[in-house]
Homo-oligomer: A and B are copies of this chain.
């Protein structure tokens, strides 16, 4: 779990016989510059890049979101219903977890280094190479507890 520069990503791609492309660099830069707490879906990233005048096809976005997640550059989140969301994967001082209301999807980010350490230790102990470690808390927020809404 390191913060990636384009050239670091390029080097790691080359190790495996793969290539750096303008599209991959654009995606990396976009996630590094997006506001903290933003969790982009594939569709949203596609729209954002279109607006910014650097469009990338949806197929390519899907391919690279998966690739970059499996490299440990991005983290894949299943927060709300329906689609996966992504954010840059940052090491300890910025690393965080998510607390989600299952009714309204309100999401709180919080830090907990001892949880991160416990996860890293577990992966290490099992001989796994760590890519991402996220504590996912499903709960009902105060507002939704007061409402009489379905489920």
Q: Which residues of A contact B (CB under 8 A)?
A: 16, 66-67, 69-71, 75-76, 78, 97, 99, 101-103, 108, 110, 112, 114-115, 118-119, 122-123, 126-142, 145, 151
Contact = CB atoms under 8 A, between A and B. Distances in A.
Nearest to A143: B127
B115 A99 contact: no
Given A78-B78, A103-B70, A132 B122 contact: no
Q: Is the interface of A mostly helix, strand, loop or mixed?
A: mixed
10 contacts: A69-B102, A99-B122, A119-B135, A123-B137, A128-B140, A130-B137, A130-B138, A131-B139, A132-B137, A132-B139
Nearest to A89: B138
A118 B126 contact: no
